[in-house]
Structure 1
């Protein structure tokens, strides 16, 4: 079976300002690279056309009042925060982005594809039940997750490795015992949420696992946390589907963060997630593009690495941007790793009441 890439040219239309960090080039340069590398022609790849999310699908995640505000903003425009402006006419692309995530999940569940990557924008994981922010209006991965629940998937796991904590996703699933939300994010970074002690509420206590990592954290840190926290939790939780909020802003060239992943690090992370899905839920996994703002320098390479890991390409062929500097990438690695070891111990201690594996 093939790997689906969900994409539509209209994803290039959304624009807050031409120089905004979340601009059309985030996907445009990736499409150029996929064309140059002839990825679309590979027999292991299937391009999947998205559809727009319906009001019903949106309302399974967001409040009616919030959707009304979005529709009003679609007419006159609105500023949700200093970096999140909704220009008039933005809503169609936003619904197409959420619908692209839903399409990815549906394509995997129907057997049309083995797994999928939703190459969509605007991103979504900062959008909560009744709020926008962080360049996000609708929570794409949450809309997909709810749609999969409605298709009969009983337990879902969301792995969010965006450098910024997915405060919106946490808000939406904080009281849902059937969704395990795990976030690895840079500490003391926007939006300032994602504390270790935030574990969920009610019957969902233990279903939110936050891992704030230190600046300079590289692939070594992420692999360690996958082994120590994510894999044991997944094996105990036994999800029927794994969703990945694939934020690509932890690359060492990204100017909005101070992390140190390289292209191979992303490929390794995605490969481990794919292996986990194959072991636990019949390979059912879909990645959804979130952040990533090293628009020319890294994002096309990282997105290609995600696709390569999903499709089973030879990962030894993964390339780094021309400005690749392994000394910079590794400069804080030892310190960051030691900090992460201590952090992981705290996570296990806080979560131990709710998990046998910790």
Structure 2
């Protein structure tokens, strides 16, 4: 935003968006056009967009919109709600085959920073570097109670270091529920304005242990996507 202070620019990053899951017919089957961003009355063509959905619930509405697009890569880390049929095999369709990544976790109520860090390192970052997005949208609701604010900060900072990518953080869902997570919002804002860095935190360097369910799901997702992306072979 022209003429804005760093704080104002950071607040612009923290965009509240309505979840498409509540407004989009899940039967929609369309090919998405390249995203257009309007800044200062100038339209900028964006050819590749990555959406990293860190909210607890699966964003089936978002997935439906972009399921046949190879210009928007959608990644969702979500609670599997103890479903017998898991959706890690849902990878897109037609032109969009290989451009949807679902990571369903049955232990989401007990996972911690180490689990998320491993998922990001082994799945999200490799595909992000391979896809080379021009815009990265990170959807958060801060509802995973066992994750610390620094974990979210680390994820966003890692993504912001991807070459030629801009990062937008979107508060997805009910803003009232986020009011109790002020520390999380403040920490993410601090990263966005360059006042905080968690990259060199010793916690992320240690040999970390993860839940067995998380390891199993990482291996399943990698196996599914190695058909499309050499970074997993």
Fold agreement, TM-score > 0.5: yes
What residue is the counterpart of 2:186 in the other structure?
304
Number of the residue aligned with 1:210:
102
| Distance in 1, Cα, partners of 2:86 & 2:195 | 34
Q: Distance in 2 between matches of 1:171 and 1:243?
A: 17
Residue 355 of structure 1 is matched in structure 2 by 229
TM-score w.r.t. the length of structure 2 is: 0.78
Supply the distance in 1 between the matched residues of 2:173 and 2:82 (Cα, whole angstroms). Answer: 14
TM-score (norm 1): 0.52
Match of 1:273 among 159, 174, 194: 159
The correspondence of residues 92-241 of structure 1 with structure 2, limited to 5 A, is 116-118=13-15, 120=16, 123-127=18-22, 129-130=24-25, 146-148=35-37, 151-188=44-81, 195-213=87-105, 214-215=107-108, 216-241=110-135
What CA distance in whole angstroms lies between the structure 2 residues aligned with 1:194 and 1:170? 15
- How far residue 295 of structure 1 moved from its aligned partner, in angstroms, is 4.6
Alpha-carbon distance between aligned partners in 2 of 1:164 and 1:357, rounded to the nearest angstrom? 27
Residue segments in structure 1 that go unaligned for 5+ positions in a row = 5-42, 50-103, 105-115, 132-141, 253-259, 317-332
For the 8 Å contact 1:127–1:169, the answer to whether it is kept is no
- Structure 1 residue 352: Cα displacement: 1.1
> Which residue, 261, 273, 278 being the options, matches 2:147?
261
User: For the Cα contact (< 8 Å) 1:156–1:240, is it kept in 2?
Assistant: yes
Q: Secondary structure at the match of 1:309?
A: helix
Task: Please give the alpha-carbon distance, in whole angstroms, between the structure 2 residues aligned to 1:193 and 1:178.
Answer: 27
Question: For each residue in 1:255-281, what CA deviation from the matched residue of structure 2 results, as whole angstroms up to 9, or x when unmatched?
Answer: xxxxx11222222222112222xxx22
CA contact (8 A) 1:166 1:183 kept: yes
CA distance in 2, matches of 1:233, 1:295: 29
Q: May I ask how many residue pairs the two structures share in their alignment?
A: 210
SS of 1:152's equivalent in the other structure is strand
Unpaired runs of at least 5, structure 2: 27-31, 199-207
Q: Is the 8 A contact 2:91 2:98 kept in 1?
A: yes
Q: By percentage of residues, which structure has more strand?
A: 2
Tell which structure's C-alpha radius of gyration is larger.
1
Corresponding residue number in structure 1 for 2:29: none
Give 1:63's aligned residue.
none
Greater per-residue helix proportion: 1
The residue number in structure 2 matching 1:12 is none
CA shift in 2, pair 1:263/1:245, >3 Å: same
Rate the CA distance shift 1:275–1:125 in 2: closer, same or farther, 3 A: farther
In structure 2, what is the Cα distance between the partners aligned to 1:300 and 1:194? 33
Q: CA RMSD in A?
A: 3.2
CA distance in 2, matches of 1:310, 1:194: 34
Deviation at 1:44, TM superposition (A): 2.4
